[in-house]
Amino acid sequence: MKSVSVALPLPIYKVFDYDVPQNISEKIQPGTMVEVEFHGSHRFGCVWSVNSIEKDKEYELKSILSCLPLEPLADWQLEWAKRIANQTFSSLGEALELFIPKYHRSWEKWTSRRIFLANEDDEYFLDLKKYGVDHFSQGMNLFIFKDLLGITSKKIDQLIKKNRITIVDEDFQKNQYRLPPQKWAKKWWQRGTITESLNLLGKLIEDSFSRGLKVFILLPGPKVLDYFLENLKTLYPLVRFLSFDGRLTARKRMLAYQMIREGYYDVLLGTRLAQFLPIHQIGVQVLFDPNDFGHYSDQQPHYHSFHSLIEKVNITGGDLHIIGTIPDLTIYFGLQEGYFESQTGQIKRFTKEHKLELVTYEQRKTILPQLIQKAIAQNITSQQNSIIWVQKTGYSVALGCSDCGFYYSCSDCDVALRFYQKERILRCPRCGKKVVPESFCPECHGPWMKTWGDGIEKVYQFLKRIFSGVHIVKIASDQERSELNVKEEEPMIIVGTSAALHEELLAHSTLFIIHSFEDWLFLPEFQVREKFYQNIQRALYFLGASKPTKTRVIIETSNQYQKYIDPFFHPPAEFYKQELEKRKKYRYPPSQGLLQVIARSRNKLNREMVLNKVKNELDEKSFIIDGPFPGDSYLKKAGWSDQLVIKFEPAVLSILYDKVTAVVQARKSTGVEVDFKVYNTLPHKVTDDL
């Protein structure tokens, strides 16, 4: 008899043992997807290892209920899942769930069987070839045949009776395909406009085809995916293109999964989750716009496509091409260390001179100074668009009393609550907690409540008063941006947060205003300067790219902050050199990895006990450990939290993961909630012996 260890998609840092029924014993291997019972409910999981059962066990294991009729995960997928778990400090089951497609039991009749066409002159051959399906001698999964051609179950039964098709059970074997050993490249490309990027992708596809390699292009969102897919299909009509993104229904996702597994494609374009499809034969991976937030998963596991894709090519081989505008500090570090080859000079880069202007004040008397109002008015007269970049959402940064100085703050996070005037509500910018403000001051009961700081709503309302009749739009989210048509003929004033710094909006605008420059300087995060620099450089890179007219950039700030402005307009080599020196001095990413272990509980003794246990488990020779100390004020429930800060070399990440998660799992009964924030760096460069 044998048992298996199954990883379940739960935030639990352990695997669970199950007995293997005799009737499915031959199907079970590491990577097999199975259905099991867990705490009274049925769940899909992945077999992590196969074990032998000791006869003297005092307890009886639950049995696996069934195997999913899907291809077992390949060895490289299992290894990759383990590395993603390490990178994100998620459980192994949560990482493996990325590779398991959404599955409905009603599909089992089709996904578990394979179809063969009896006659090559059959009309279905021609229909299938239109979709790029070939290799008919090997048959195909019945799910593909049924869904791709829209054939009903009744029609399939008729075809069987007429001996036009033969159906057999699928023999799911683990895919053992490996790319041929050779020297693979990791390259950084600095892109131009979206049209120039299309030409660059075309050249990469042509080069890959000349080498007999399939291509995977990972994109940050559906809109850019649609643009490239439509245009690449026009440029290369004989190439088999497939796409995969979150808009697909579960059934369409399964169809794409099966076609990719069978290899019925030459180029795959997809958004974040597409990288976890069974793309065994991919020889060239392309990551487009790595700094776009669309590449980051805001759900557990919190992976970033840049780091996950690097780990994949380190396991499987294949070329990696990263195409972006301005390299972030990690990519710049990789270029300096020889991890990436720079291909900046290989494409034409557009350049445009911007007129930089500074508007300062001793004490602000109005939301937008007269000089800025005049610049916007001139742009409207010239029928040009303007963008005003505001750091804060809401109406104001804080709401309080002008008599006693009281202001509303979050009881959990100890930060000022932002005021949303339209909804007449206060909201915490960290945890989202909502509070309805009183009409009078809660402290002194005075009537003089006032707002501090400018949020996007306040600037928007001010512009509506000053420029009545002008088209003014507010953009605080990606959804609001996607609904905007920037190609309208009338001039627009766009006021927005960083969501407004999109290529299409910038390219059709000629005036860019940074409102309250100082708001970005002192945010409580060590990466804030780097992110602020990237946003400014991205704005300068695309501003007015679609316009023949000159462009203007206006920086609005208080006199005392003028001295901080210049570095943010220096070239990357100059700005990043100083940043890297600081990071190396204090051993912060990207020179090393950094992990925050945050323990939350009302019981301070329990918090410190868990963190000290983590600290004691780690070898101080391999890790630099600071803490425990009180949680930072910007963390949720900061008053109830303590944290450790652990700095580590990439080579010991798996050791750190195993030790820390073992302590956390063992201490779950203490009632302490433990969260992780991981700042990854580049893995050690893999040397090529070829």
Tell whether 408 is covered by a domain. Answer: no
- For the chain, the domain total comes to 5
Tell whether 440 is covered by a domain. Answer: no
Q: For helices 222-235 and 194-210, give the axis angle rounded to 10 degrees.
A: 60
Taking the chain, what is the end-to-end CA distance rounded to the nearest angstrom? 45
Q: Is 594 helix (H, G, I), strand (E, B) or coil?
A: strand
- DSSP at 236: -
Distance, in Å, from the CA atom of 142 to the CA atom of 112, rounded to the nearest integer, reads: 8
pLDDT for residue 130: 82
Same domain, residue pair 369 and 329? no
Tell whether 685 is covered by a domain. Answer: no
Same domain, residue pair 296 and 225? yes
Residue 619 is part of a domain; what is its CATH number?
3.30.70.360
Q: What are phi and psi of 185, to 5 degrees?
A: -115, 150
Taking a C-beta distance cutoff of 8 angstroms, is the pair 601, 624 a contact?
no
Distance, in Å, from the CA atom of 258 to the CA atom of 275, rounded to the nearest integer, reads: 15
Residue 384 is part of a domain; what is its CATH number?
3.40.50.300
Q: The tokens of 373 are what?
A: 């109002």
Same domain, residue pair 461 and 569? yes
Q: Which residues, 6+ apart, have CB-to-CB distance to 251 below 8 Å?
A: 107, 147
Closest residue by Cα to residue 475 from 380, 393, 367, 544:
393
Among 314, 346, 378, give the residue marking a domain's end.
346
Among 50, 84, 105, give the residue marking a domain's end.
105
3-state SS string for 335-395: HHCCCCEECHHHCCCCCCCEEEEEEEECCCCCCCCHHHHHHHHHHHHCCCEEEEECCCCCC
Burial class (CB in 10 A: 0-12, 13-18, 19+), 668: middle
Distance, in Å, from the CA atom of 337 to the CA atom of 353, rounded to the nearest integer, reads: 31
Same domain, residue pair 73 and 216? no
Among 531, 551, 577, give the residue marking a domain's end.
577
Taking a C-beta distance cutoff of 8 angstroms, is the pair 130, 264 a contact?
no
Same domain, residue pair 28 and 46? yes
Length of the chain: 690
Same domain, residue pair 475 and 375? yes
Taking a C-beta distance cutoff of 8 angstroms, is the pair 498, 517 a contact?
no
Same domain, residue pair 96 and 158? no
Tell whether 375 is covered by a domain. Answer: yes
Tell whether 409 is covered by a domain. Answer: no
pLDDT by residue (tens digit) across 440-494? 999 898 888 888 889 999 999 999 999 998 999 999 876 677 667 766 667 899 9
- Transcribe 248-314 into DSSP letters: S-HHHHHHHHHHHHHT--SEEEE-GGGGGS--TTEEEEEEE-TTSGGGB-SSSS--BHHHHHHHHHH
The CA-based dihedral angle spanning residues 450, 455, 459, 464, taken in that order and rounded to the nearest 10 degrees = -90
The CA-based dihedral angle spanning residues 653, 658, 663, 665, taken in that order and rounded to the nearest 10 degrees = 120
Taking a C-beta distance cutoff of 8 angstroms, is the pair 429, 393 a contact?
yes
Q: Which residues, 6+ apart, have CB-to-CB distance to 555 below 8 Å?
A: 356, 357, 358, 359, 514, 517, 565
Instruction: Give the number of C-alpha atoms closer than 13 A to the C-alpha of residue 363, restricted to the C-beta side.
Output: 0
Tell whether 689 is covered by a domain. Answer: no
pLDDT for residue 345: 45
Same domain, residue pair 323 and 382? no
pLDDT for residue 348: 42
Which portions of the chain are predicted below pLDDT 70? 1, 53-58, 120-121, 135-136, 344-352, 478-479, 482-483, 486-489, 632-639, 669, 684-690
Same domain, residue pair 23 and 165? no
Residue 75 is part of a domain; what is its CATH number?
3.40.1440.60
187, 331, 663 from 343: Cα distances, Å: 7, 13, 45
Tell whether 684 is covered by a domain. Answer: no
- Which residue in this structure is represented by tokens 């897919």? 229
Same domain, residue pair 194 and 86? no
90, 582, 646, 655, 682 from 85: Cα distances, Å: 5, 29, 17, 12, 16
pLDDT for residue 685: 61
Same domain, residue pair 497 and 639? no
Q: Which domain holds residue 154?
A: 113-169
Read off the pTM. 0.91
Distance, in Å, from the CA atom of 292 to the CA atom of 203, rounded to the nearest integer, reads: 23
- Transcribe 11-24 into DSSP letters: S-SS-EEEE--GGG
Beta-sheet strand order (sheet of 641-648):
623-630, 641-648, 593-600, 673-679
Distance, in Å, from the CA atom of 643 to the CA atom of 675, rounded to the nearest integer, reads: 9
Q: The tokens of 296 are what?
A: 């980051």
Taking a C-beta distance cutoff of 8 angstroms, is the pair 424, 415 a contact?
no
Same domain, residue pair 133 and 34? no
